[in-house]
């Protein structure tokens, strides 16, 4: 901890404390610094320390501590205003606004005191010559809080009519308040329009766009703009998460989770901030937080999860139902205190309305990992139950009729319908044939365990007199044996049913449907032999063609026969694929899907469209692959299992992203992540989907959203499951996002972690690139020594790979860093000189004209940067001779750069003119106006006849004219 010996060290200590995270530790340090300031016996030091204390209290959970230091500051001002410099005078008046808001947040402060304070604020602002804009804004806040809407409307109009001056809140904060008024009046669109400049980054401050992003969530949901709401949640929560003082905005994000089916994420948010349940420094934000806690817990209870363990106030365990009651009672007690102070019921009314909200979206996938708290609903519409004969459950005949209908028409959920029949049959006398049907369909849902039941069904069919169906059941049992790995047994078991069914069919003793069923089972078994042993392709093809000869043209309205024909066509496709004829296979698969779709059985076409997509991908026909995947999703509709839907969306994301449609690709990756979570594969397929989603968001420049998603993916990605390449790429992308967000230290950590993995790869280009990027992040994070080490490592790797360009760039970067380390200007010049020599040496041995041109460009940029470095590295206390010597050396490097760029012709034009202008300014600094003029005119001549719309041309011409002005005068 820094020792406070004088005013300067106090100011440094306060500046350092300002950079610390919000919270009690920072506040305690501010209190210590005030004590140290009082020892200095310098009035301004105490003023500044009190101002610092006020600031850290305001941006913390201990806002109630602001009033004491402010009262002391105000007393000091009234007694000795000369002790305040201009900045502290401004700050004193500025924090009047904080006091008004702070008093509103404390229900023990009487409303009369707040009104008196408003008058005091107006009086002092008038004396200081400030506009009344900030005063009317404060009055608007008071009126809105107590529910005096007519007064709020008047104050709002006066606020906007008053002139903006130095006391007005920043544009971002003002727009947030103005949008809030629109919300209060039910104008969601107007609010979002007002917030547009803040959301777009035109205006920002310490708490914006943080609060606007949070406030925008509910109106966006109400307007159905769910994609924007999702983006604002991911982007906004990232901003709010580290800031202790933003409990109100944090509550908005918890509310968003409760209203969008993201209860699990809401619980994660509560777990991250246990102190929010109990921190009492700002009662109003605590009330808001507890209200949305009650809302979330009620949502869980409504889903039948009232007994689930949830995070809550420390000291005991909580269930959702228990926490709902606790949070509601605490929130309503606080609201009652505010209403008692205000003399209205407005706060309580608003609070109850907030806690009573119903979900606005059943389920809004966010892209980050989530475990669904609600029981998953059906993936497909359940067929309507037949009309019952009486109130209660359908009759057994009705259940049986519905099950037969679903089976005959190959509808989804037929097996569920037969399960209902089986349950009802336990309490009903049924005939032998029905018992056979029940056994048969029960076996179909048992997989490998269904062999015995199929055999039992065969016995019952035979007993009931249907020999053909009995043979078909035995054939189905044989096929199940093949699926269970008992291929030889299956091949042996199918022979008798095959011979018997053909004999029966020849004697007209059974129908086409039963015969086709046996032929299909036999064909399937022979196909298993082809796939498992790569033998018997001829036998399999013969069996399939025999099936197709039987059912071809006979389907009509019999969907079972149509289905047999389509599946047979698909089997021929598989055989063509096995033989290496991908084009023929694709065509046959398409025919199969067309038959299924034509028969209004599109869900059976999904598998084959996926096969078409895979074949098209292998053949490089990405358009056909995309068509087939889209068709698979369309055909499958709600009937595809979650894992299948995740895989389809993920494949489509990769194909669509490959043609550059990052926005649509991100939508599919988002869906893939959602369905992977639903399938219980968050850590495997879901992690890969999030990896892809993060990459697509990054490509769109949505850095905050991408960072949230990539961090979520990294929690599950592993080298063992996904490959170390995926881990490295995710770290790399995350580092890029964090760099764009200005989180340079975190970006460096991610890049270094990725580099450590890539260090072990045979090919070292990624390792070198990541080390280089990590060095860049370390430099931007204010860690020059660490950055120099990383650049040194990257340079060694670039040299080993023979990559002169990046070797030189690492040396140039080290040269600039040297100005901030012990190496100093001399070390910087040596490094830049080394970079020049590396370029020159590479040029001497380069033979390829393209390589020569690239190296020449690198040399020109190195000379140019060398010149800039020499000019900027002159010590502030240098004498005129030293300054002149440095500028002469810099001019020499600029001249060398101009010469190199000139040799590149048109390709080097913009670089040459930039160097020419830099040289011109040096000439001017060296008191050589004629030379400076000549260089400016050379730039203007170089752009004679150039496109005036070109931004670079316009900028160069403008700077050249600027250089001419003093020399011409």
Residue 31: CA count within 13 A, CB half-sphere: 11
The most distant pair of C-alpha atoms in the chain lies apart, rounded to whole Å, by 119
Report the pLDDT value the prediction gives residue 637, as an integer from 0 to 100: 86
At 318 the three-state DSSP class reads strand
pLDDT tier at 393 (50, 70, 90 boundaries)?
A: confident
Distance CA 377, CA 808 (A): 60
DSSP code, position 683:
I
Distance CA 560, CA 346 (A): 66
Instruction: Tell me: cis bond preceding 209? Omega within 30 of 0 counts.
Output: yes
More reliable by pLDDT, 384 or 609: 609
CB within 8 Å of 747: residues ≥ 6 apart:
734, 735, 736, 737, 738, 739, 777, 780, 781
Residue 563: CB atoms within 10 Å = 20
Cβ atoms of 608 and 573 closer than 8 Å: yes
Confidence check: pLDDT of 587 > 50:
yes
Residue 337: CA count within 13 A, CB half-sphere: 15
Confidence check: pLDDT of 286 > 50:
yes
pLDDT in tens, 936-960: 999 999 999 889 899 999 999 999 9
Q: Tokens in use for 776?
A: 């860049």
pLDDT tier at 2 (50, 70, 90 boundaries)?
A: low
The pLDDT of 618-634, averaged and rounded, is: 95
Instruction: List the single range of 2-6, 108-112, 409-413, 738-742 with lowest mean pLDDT.
Output: 2-6
At 319 the three-state DSSP class reads strand
Confidence check: pLDDT of 378 > 80:
no
Which one, of 53, 2, 66, lies nearest residue 26 by Cα? 53
Helical segments of 537-618, H only? 537-551, 559-578, 582-598, 606-618
Distance CA 355, CA 291 (A): 6
Average pLDDT across the chain, whole number = 93
pLDDT in tens, 473-519: 999 999 999 999 999 999 999 999 999 999 999 999 999 999 999 99
What DSSP string describes 323-353?
Answer: HHHHHHHHHHHHHHHHHHHHTSSHHHHHHHH
Q: Tokens in use for 312?
A: 């809550």
CB within 8 Å of 574: residues ≥ 6 apart:
527, 530, 531, 585
Q: Reduced to 3 DSSP states, what percent helix, strand and coil does the chain have, rounded to the nearest 5?
A: 75, 0, 25
Report the pLDDT value the prediction gives residue 552, as an integer from 0 to 100: 82
Confidence check: pLDDT of 738 > 70:
yes
Calculate the alpha carbon distances from 731 to 676, 734, 781 in Å: 22, 5, 18
Cβ atoms of 929 and 910 closer than 8 Å: no
At 208 the three-state DSSP class reads strand
Distance CA 740, CA 742 (A): 5
pLDDT tier at 387 (50, 70, 90 boundaries)?
A: very low
Report the pLDDT value the prediction gives residue 847, as an integer from 0 to 100: 80
The pLDDT of 847-872, averaged and rounded, is: 94
Distance CA 250, CA 255 (A): 9
Report the pLDDT value the prediction gives residue 363, as an integer from 0 to 100: 87
The pLDDT of 844-863, averaged and rounded, is: 92
Q: Tokens in use for 40?
A: 């200095």
Confidence check: pLDDT of 180 > 60:
yes
Distance CA 604, CA 613 (A): 16
Report the pLDDT value the prediction gives residue 448, as an integer from 0 to 100: 85
The pLDDT of 112-140, averaged and rounded, is: 94
pLDDT in tens, 425-461: 998 899 999 999 999 999 998 988 899 999 999 999 9
Cβ atoms of 605 and 641 closer than 8 Å: no
Distance CA 389, CA 404 (A): 18
Distance CA 794, CA 775 (A): 8
Place of tokens 């850095």: 703
pLDDT tier at 876 (50, 70, 90 boundaries)?
A: confident
At 679 the three-state DSSP class reads coil
% of the chain residues with pLDDT over 70: 97
State residue 368 phi and psi, 5-degree precision: -80, 160
**Computed over its alpha carbons, how large is the radius of gyration of the chain?**
38
Report the pLDDT value the prediction gives residue 3, as an integer from 0 to 100: 76
Place of tokens 């190496």: 823
What DSSP string describes 468-533?
Answer: HHHHHHHHHHHHHHHHTT-HHHHHHHHHHHHHHHHHHHHTTSS-HHHHHHHHHHHHHHHHHHHHHH
744-752: long-range pairs with CB below 8 Å, 24+: 744/777, 744/778, 744/780, 744/781, 745/777, 745/778, 745/781, 745/783, 747/777, 747/780, 747/781, 748/774, 748/777, 748/778, 748/781, 748/783, 748/786, 748/790, 751/777, 752/790
Confidence check: pLDDT of 743 > 80:
yes
Cβ atoms of 735 and 754 closer than 8 Å: yes
The pLDDT of 916-926, averaged and rounded, is: 95
Calculate the alpha carbon distances from 532 to 343, 487, 527, 575, 586 in Å: 82, 9, 9, 13, 22
Confidence check: pLDDT of 12 > 50:
yes
pLDDT in tens, 687-733: 999 999 999 999 999 999 999 999 999 999 999 999 999 999 999 99
pLDDT in tens, 809-822: 999 999 999 999 98
Report the pLDDT value the prediction gives residue 553, as an integer from 0 to 100: 72
Q: Tokens in use for 785?
A: 């020594």
Cβ atoms of 313 and 278 closer than 8 Å: yes
Confidence check: pLDDT of 829 > 60:
yes
The pLDDT of 137-158, averaged and rounded, is: 96
Distance CA 712, CA 696 (A): 15
More reliable by pLDDT, 268 or 386: 268
CB within 8 Å of 469: residues ≥ 6 apart:
436, 461, 514
């Amino acid at each position: 901890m820094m020792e406070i010996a004088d005013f300067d060290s106090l100011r440094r200590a306060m500046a350092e404390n300002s950079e610390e995270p919000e919270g009690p530790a920072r506040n305690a340090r501010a209190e210590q610094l005030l004590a140290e300031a009082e020892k200095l016996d310098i009035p301004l030091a105490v003023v500044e320390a009190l101002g610092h204390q006020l600031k850290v209290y305001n941006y913390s959970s201990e806002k109630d501590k602001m009033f004491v230091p402010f009262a002391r500051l105000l007393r000091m001002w009234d007694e000795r205003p000369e002790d305040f410099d201009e900045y502290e005078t401004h700050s004193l008046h500025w924090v009047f606004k904080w006091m008004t808001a702070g008093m509103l947040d404390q229900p023990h402060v009487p409303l009369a005191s707040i009104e008196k304070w408003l008058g005091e604020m107006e009086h002092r602002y008038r004396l200081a010559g400030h506009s009344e804009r900030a005063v009317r804004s404060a009055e608007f806040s008071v009126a809105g809080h107590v529910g005096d809407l007519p007064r709020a409307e008047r104050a709002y109009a006066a606020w906007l009519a008053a002139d903006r001056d130095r006391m007005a809140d920043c544009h971002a904060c003002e727009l947030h308040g103005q949008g809030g008024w629109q919300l209060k009046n039910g104008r969601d669109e107007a609010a979002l329009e007002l917030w547009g400049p803040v959301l777009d980054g035109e205006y920002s401050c310490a708490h914006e766009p943080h609060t606007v992003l949070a406030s925008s969530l509910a109106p966006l949901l109400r307007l159905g703009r769910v994609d924007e709401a999702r983006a604002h949640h991911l982007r906004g929560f990232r901003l709010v998460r580290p800031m202790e003082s933003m409990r109100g905005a944090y509550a908005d994000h918890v509310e968003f989770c409760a209203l969008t089916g993201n209860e699990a994420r809401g619980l994660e948010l509560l777990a991250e901030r246990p102190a929010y349940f109990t921190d009492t420094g700002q009662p109003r934000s605590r009330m808001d937080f507890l209200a949305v806690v009650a809302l979330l817990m009620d949502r869980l209870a409504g889903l039948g999860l009232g007994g689930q363990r949830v995070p809550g106030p420390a000291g005991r365990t909580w269930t959702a139902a228990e926490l709902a009651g606790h949070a509601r009672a605490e929130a309503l007690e606080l609201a009652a205190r505010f209403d008692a102070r205000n003399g209205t019921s407005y706060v309580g009314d608003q609070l109850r309305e907030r806690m009573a909200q119903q979900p606005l979206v059943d389920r809004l996938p966010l892209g980050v990992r989530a475990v669904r708290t609600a029981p998953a609903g059906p993936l497909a519409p359940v067929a309507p139950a037949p009309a019952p004969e009486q109130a209660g459950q359908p009759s057994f005949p009705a259940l049986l009729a519905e099950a037969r209908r679903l089976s005959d028409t190959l509808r989804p959920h037929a097996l569920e319908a037969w399960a209902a029949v089986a349950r009802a049959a336990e309490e009903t006398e049924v005939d032998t044939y029905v018992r056979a049907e029940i056994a048969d369909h029960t076996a179909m849902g048992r997989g490998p365990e269904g062999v015995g039941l199929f055999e039992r069904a065969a016995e019952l069919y035979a007993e009931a007199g249907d020999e053909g169906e009995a043979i078909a059941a035995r054939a189905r049992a044989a096929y199940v044996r093949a699926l269970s790995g008992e291929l030889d047994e299956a091949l042996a078991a199918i022979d008798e049913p095959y011979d018997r069914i053909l004999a029966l069919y020849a004697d007209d003793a059974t129908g086409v449907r039963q015969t086709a069923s046996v032929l299909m089972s036999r064909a399937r078994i022979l196909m298993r032999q082809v796939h498992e042993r790569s033998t018997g392709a001829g036998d399999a093809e013969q069996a399939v063609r025999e099936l197709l000869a039987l059912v071809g043209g006979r389907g009509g309205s019999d969907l079972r026969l149509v289905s047999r024909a389509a599946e047979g066509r698909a089997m021929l496709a598989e055989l063509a694929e096995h033989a290496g004829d991908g084009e023929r296979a694709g065509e046959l698969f398409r025919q199969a899907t067309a038959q299924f779709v034509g028969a209004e059985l599109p869900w059976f076409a999904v598998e084959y469209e996926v096969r078409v997509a895979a074949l098209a991908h292998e053949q490089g026909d990405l358009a056909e692959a995309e068509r087939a995947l889209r068709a698979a999703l369309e055909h499958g509709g709600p009937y595809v299992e979650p894992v299948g839907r995740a895989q389809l969306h993920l494949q489509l994301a990769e194909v669509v992203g490959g043609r550059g449609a990052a926005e649509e690709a991100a939508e599919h990756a988002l869906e893939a992540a959602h369905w992977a979570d639903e399938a219980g594969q968050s850590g495997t397929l879901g992690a890969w989907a999030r990896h892809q989603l993060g990459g697509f968001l990054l490509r769109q420049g949505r850095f905050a959203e991408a960072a949230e998603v990539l961090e979520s993916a990294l929690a599950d990605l592993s080298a063992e499951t996904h490959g170390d390449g995926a881990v490295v790429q995710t770290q790399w992308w995350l580092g890029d996002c964090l760099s764009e967000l200005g989180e340079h230290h975190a970006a460096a950590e991610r890049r270094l972690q990725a580099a450590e993995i890539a260090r072990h790869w045979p090919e070292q280009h990624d390792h070198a690139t990541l080390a280089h990027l990590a060095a860049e992040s370390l430099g931007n994070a204010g860690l020059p020594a660490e950055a120099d080490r990383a650049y040194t490592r990257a340079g060694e790797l670039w040299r080993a790979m023979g990559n002169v360009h990046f070797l030189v760039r690492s040396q140039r970067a080290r040269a600039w860093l040297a100005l901030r380390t012990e190496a100093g200007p001399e070390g910087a010049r040596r490094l830049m000189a080394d970079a020049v020599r590396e370029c020159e040496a590479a040029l001497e041995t380069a033979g390829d004209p393209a390589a020569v041109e690239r190296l020449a460009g690198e040399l020109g940029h190195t000379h140019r940067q060398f010149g800039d470095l020499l000019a900027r590295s002159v010590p502030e206390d240098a004498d005129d001779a030293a300054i002149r010597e440095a500028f002469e050396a810099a001019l020499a490097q600029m001249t060398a750069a101009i010469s190199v760029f000139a040799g590149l012709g048109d390709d080097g034009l913009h670089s040459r003119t930039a160097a020419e202008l830099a040289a011109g300014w040096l000439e001017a600094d060296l008191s050589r106006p004629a030379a400076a003029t000549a260089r400016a005119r050379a730039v203007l001549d170089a752009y004679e006849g150039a496109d005036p719309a070109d931004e670079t041309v316009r900028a160069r011409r403008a700077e050249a004219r600027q250089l001419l002005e003093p020399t011409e005068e």
